[in-house]
Amino acid sequence: MAAFLEAFGVDAWKLGFQIVNFLILLFLLNRYLFPRVLRLIDERHSKLSQGLEDAEAAARDRDLARAERETALTEARRESEELVARAAKTAEATGAEILAAARASAEHLTSRAREEIEAEKLRALAEIRGEVADLALEAAGKLVGTEMNAPTQRRLVDQFLAEHRN
7: confidence class by pLDDT, cuts 50, 70, 90: confident
Instruction: Read off the pTM.
Output: 0.40
The answer to the question of residue 166 being in a domain is: no
Q: What is the dihedral of CA 78, 79, 81, 85, to 10 degrees?
A: 140
Structural domain total, the chain: 1
Rounded to whole angstroms, the Cα distance separating 145 from 132 reads 19
Over pLDDT 70: what percentage of the chain? 93
State the CB neighbour count (10 A cutoff) for residue 137.
Answer: 19
The answer to the question of residue 56 being in a domain is: yes
The answer to the question of residue 152 being in a domain is: no
| pLDDT > 80? residue 31 | yes
The answer to the question of residue 80 being in a domain is: yes
The answer to the question of residue 101 being in a domain is: yes
Residue 164 has, within 13 A of its CA and on its CB side, a CA count of 9
What's residue 48's pLDDT? 95
pLDDT in tens, 57-110: 999 999 999 999 999 999 999 999 999 999 999 999 999 999 999 999 999 999
Domain that holds residue 90: 2-143
What are φ and ψ of residue 146, in 5° steps? -130, 165
- Top pLDDT among 43 and 153 is at 43
